[in-house]
Amino acid sequence: MSLMLQEIAEQPAALEKTIAEERAKISRLGESIKKREIDLIVLVARGSSDNAALFGRYLLEITTGIPVSLSAPSVHTLYQAKLNLKRALVIGVSQSGEGEDINRVLENARGCGAFTIGITNEPSSSMVNLVDETLLMHGGRERSVAATKTFTGQMMLFYLLAAALARDGEIECDAIPNLVARALEQKPAIVELVQRYVFMENCVVVGRGLAYANAYEFALKLMETCYVVAERFSSADFLHGPVAMIERHFPVILFAPPGVMLEGTKDLIRRLQELRADTLTITGDIDAASMCSRSIIMPREIDEFLAPIPYIIPAQLFAALLAEAKGLDPDAPRSLSKVTRTL
């Protein structure tokens, strides 16, 4: 079994431990941040961490009402801009904590008056020494180049942070580790499913709202482990032009969790039916599944708010198993290393 598959299987325990170890600290941190009257949150990351940040953007804006921006690191590192960040919270996200551009942004942001937080898997990393507070994942070292447990660990920390900063009501996310364990039960079905996609060279991955980041992450996993050219889109943006590329049997993979985005996703599926695309959906909705060529059926009771982490598990399994079916090593993608240094 590949390291990637082993680390996918470790996620329920990793998420459980992250909740147990970080919740109290994040709760205290949330009270401190609220006193600062923050009116802007800026997230900075690269790669899979950037996809986790994209999820964090949706989650934090929905739950806190504070505008959230995804930072362009080159504004700080190459253009050396000085921004007014006196009432901003700047959060760096890096599994290694050694991304030079991420750390440079955090250092610059702190100098511009921001309160800074680092989200990382490495307690002794450079990032830890640059920020006001550090939030750690507790899943152990990730050995496969393709991020899996660190990606969901980052998402989990965003849930805990959103709970600490939320304007109204409580955010309950304790069920997520168990939902992830249930999602792992799809592995035997996915082993058979990937055989139909062994010769896939191109595809589109679609998600919207809280599932939008899942589309980005699944596409990235297909590109880096399977060498499939995978474009990713919001279901709304997809209809504004990219749908023109779809022809008979073109593969389109859709995230269709329950919630406010489901009907729009079904409308897109109907359009794809007309175009005779090959559609694969990850969904708990039986109607959406019945309209697609193939489907991965998730538990119906997973609501939209809790869906992003459990719904990415079948996608991770699909990428790892498809790589193996193609005769590739998902743990060692060509031209990649675990830590990527850019400015």
Confidence of residue 247 (pLDDT cuts 50, 70, 90): confident
* Mean pLDDT calculated for residue range 220-241: 89
CATH (one of 3.30.420.40, 3.40.50.10490, 3.40.50.720, 3.40.80.10) for 3-174: 3.40.50.10490
CA 127 to mean position of chain CA atoms: 21
Confidence of residue 25 (pLDDT cuts 50, 70, 90): very high
pLDDT in tens, 281-339: 999 999 999 999 999 999 999 999 999 999 999 999 999 999 999 999 998 887 655 55
What SS3 state is found at 231?
strand
Candidate ranges 62-76, 184-198, 232-246; pick with highest mean pLDDT: 184-198
CATH architecture of 177-325: 3-Layer(aba) Sandwich (3.40)
What residues does CATH 3.40.50.10490 cover in the chain?
A: 3-174, 177-325
The residue to which tokens 């690269």 are assigned: 46
Measured CA to CA in angstroms, residue 322 lies from 85, 226, 250, 280, 317 at distances of 44, 7, 17, 14, 8
Per-residue confidence (pLDDT) for residue 339, from 0 to 100? 55
CA distances from 20 to 87, 151, 269 (A): 30, 18, 40
Burial of 301 (0-12, 13-18, 19+ CB in 10 A): exposed
